[in-house]
């Protein structure tokens, strides 16, 4: 699948957003090796700390369908931002745990700007399970 198609799916996943508090819709689309795409959108709560981000929902959606890190190829994230939408710190930590180091992370916005990156660039010197040994 082309990067542009995956980013378009992330844009469309924004329609699934439940964001009555921020009115900020974020969408994510996670591509697997077999071509399957799992979507995620942000889901908010009146108790604000319980809000869940789009990227994490996409990863958890895939995992609840039996997919895991080795199956993931690319993750696209989209929101109505000036620059391509970049994941929050919590999502970077979760991506670092569940998404492969060589996986492509595609950031975009509604204007079609995009930036291709990876978790090592987004979260250098990450804390990981290795540190617990």
- Binding to ligand THU by residue 6, rule CB under 6 A? no
CB 76 within 8 A of CB 106: yes
Which CB sits closer to ligand THU, 37 or 53? Answer: 53
CB 38 within 8 A of CB 30: yes
Of residues 92-121, those binding ligand THU (CB under 6 A): none
Please give the Cα distance from 107 to 129 (Å, whole number): 26
Query: Active site includes 55?
Result: yes
Active-site entry in 5, 12, 55, 104: 55
Using CB under 6 A, which of 87, 99, 106, 109 touches ligand THU? 87
Please name the residue that has the structure tokens 């079609």: 112
- Binding to ligand THU by residue 10, rule CB under 6 A? no
């Amino acid at each position: 699948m082309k990067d542009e198609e995956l980013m378009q799916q992330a844009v469309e996943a924004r329609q699934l957003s439940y964001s009555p508090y921020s009115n900020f819709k974020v969408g994510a689309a996670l591509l697997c090796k077999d071509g399957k795409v799992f979507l995620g959108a942000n889901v908010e709560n009146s108790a604000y700390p319980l809000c869940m981000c789009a990227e994490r929902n996409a990863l958890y959606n895939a995992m609840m369908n039996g997919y895991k890190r080795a199956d993931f190829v690319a993750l696209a994230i989209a929101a109505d931002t000036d620059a391509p939408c970049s994941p929050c710190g919590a999502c970077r930590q979760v991506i670092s745990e569940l998404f492969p180091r060589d996986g492509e992370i595609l950031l975009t916005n509604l204007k079609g700007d995009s930036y291709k990156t990876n978790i090592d660039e987004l979260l250098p010197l990450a804390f990981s399970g290795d540190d617990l040994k």
